[in-house]
Amino acid sequence: MELKDLVEGFYKVATASVADAVDKVTGQRGYLDHEVKPRINDKRIVGPAATVVEVPTDEFLPPQHALDLIDEAPTGSVICISVGEEPDVAVWGGLMTAGAFANGHVGAVLDGGVRDLAEIRRDYDFPVFARSVSPATTLGRHRTVASQVPALVGGVMVHPGDIVVGDIDGVVVVPRAHAQAVLAMAQEIDARELEQARLIVAEKSLRKGLEKYGRI
């Protein structure tokens, strides 16, 4: 299935259904730690991951891999940044948002912090999911070491090209190799839950819905 079709499909299914489908298809967790949550708005994001890895340092270095990736990643990417330590340091801010917005990316998912919230909301309304909000700079604390490599974000290993799905329920990473199977199962889960909900309302009984469909 083409990437465009996968993105369109994942936009239409519940994030919870995607998380359940990743569990069943891959046998592994795809949902990120609950601390990684929306910090700017409630927009839904779906797109391929573009990754950056950062590590601790005492050098005053710009996050060059991240800056370059924002310009070089395919349009429609979700920028995912891993940090080794100090999750309360901001690895994303207003200028990086401006670059991501200008390049047509759909969001950022950060294992660390974000700053410049007022600016991001006012000027770009750009979705950022982050572990924390912090005014602290990475300069003298973090340095980037690689891009477009596996990156640990929110307790889940994210590979470049994995499908990232996020909204107010949280963030789920779908391994690209299993994306089509996960989407099909998520669609099936959504359809079954819709039927189950209708039965519960019609019968005025949660138990009857559970008895027939066996899902909660």
Residue 201 has pLDDT above 90, yes or no: no
pTM for this structure? 0.93
Residue 206 has pLDDT above 70, yes or no: no
Domain 31-174 falls under CATH 3.40.50.620: no
Residue 82 has pLDDT above 70, yes or no: yes
In 19-106, DSSP assigns E strands to 37-38, 45-56, 78-83, 90-92
Q: How confident is the model at residue 192 (pLDDT cuts 50, 70, 90)?
A: confident
pLDDT one-digit tens code per residue, 139-160: 999 999 999 999 999 999 999 9
Strand partners of residue 163: 48, 174
Q: What is the pLDDT of residue 196?
A: 73
Domain span(s) for CATH 3.50.30.40 in the chain: 31-174
